[in-house]
Amino acid sequence: MFYDSLLPVPLLIVPAAVFYLKMVRKRQAEQRRELLKKEFLTGASLLGDYLKSGYSIENAIRGSVNELAEVWGADSDIVAEWNRMGKHMSLSMSAEEAFRDFGQRSGIEQIRDFSEIFTIVKRSGGRLDESVAAVTSLLSEQFAAEEQIRTMTAAKRYEQKIMNVMPVGILLYIRFSSPELLSVMYRSFSGRAIMTGCLGLYILAYYWAERIISIKV
């Protein structure tokens, strides 16, 4: 499209594929983290209910696994993490250390904060059930706000996808309607240099748009 030739394809296909795969993996990782946030909110809410019923934190974690599996599936990340924490605690790891390990590996700030609050309350002898319920309520409000922001920006994401294909669409239209207007761009060194610059700007604009839409709360 930009060079009227297939010769540049072997040179560009590798860096383009690496760039695209990197963005896809980053997006998939972000989606997985967002899902884990929702799963964790369910798990924390169940923990609060079990603690209010008089369960110890160890038994609360073990007891809520089946309910989490019913809600999110037995192969969900939260069920795997709950089972991991239960196994660690059965090997004499404290609940505080288990939650801290989970928070660090998740890469999610809210889970790390929860683990820190959990550690402080448990070591200070505070009401763990009330603290877990309070933190869960705050997390629920924060996640709801994030979901609202994503809903509000959904239209902009759709507009972004349209804008991504617009330059190629315009180029195709000119090539088929008035090919002589672009012939100089494909036949001279300066024309190809300009098209190379246009290709670079197109890639930069695509990346920039992705960064703008990716709002961090």
CATH of the domain at 65: 1.20.81
Which two structure tokens, joined as six digits, stand for 41?
């909110």
User: What's the pLDDT at 152?
Assistant: 78
26 lies in some domain: no
Whole-number mean pLDDT of the chain?
Answer: 85
Which two structure tokens, joined as six digits, stand for 80?
């795997």
Instruction: Indicate yes or no: pTM above 0.75.
Output: no
User: What's the pLDDT at 75?
Assistant: 92
2 lies in some domain: no
Burial category of 147 from C-beta neighbours within 10 Å (exposed 0-12, middle 13-18, buried 19 and up): middle
User: What's the pLDDT at 217?
Assistant: 52
100, 119, 143 - which closes a domain = 143
87, 121, 143 - which closes a domain = 143
Which two structure tokens, joined as six digits, stand for 134?
């309070």
- 180 and 122 co-located in one domain: no
pLDDT tens for 64-103 read 999 999 999 999 999 999 999 989 888 888 888 999 999 9
pLDDT tens for 27-40 read 888 889 889 999 99
- 132 and 38 co-located in one domain: yes
- Owning domain of residue 139: 32-143
Q: Would you list the DSSP string of 82-140? A: HHHHHHHHHTT--HHHHHHHHHHHHT-HHHHHHHHHHHHHHHHT--HHHHHHHHHHHHH
Q: How many domains does the chain have?
A: 2
131 lies in some domain: yes
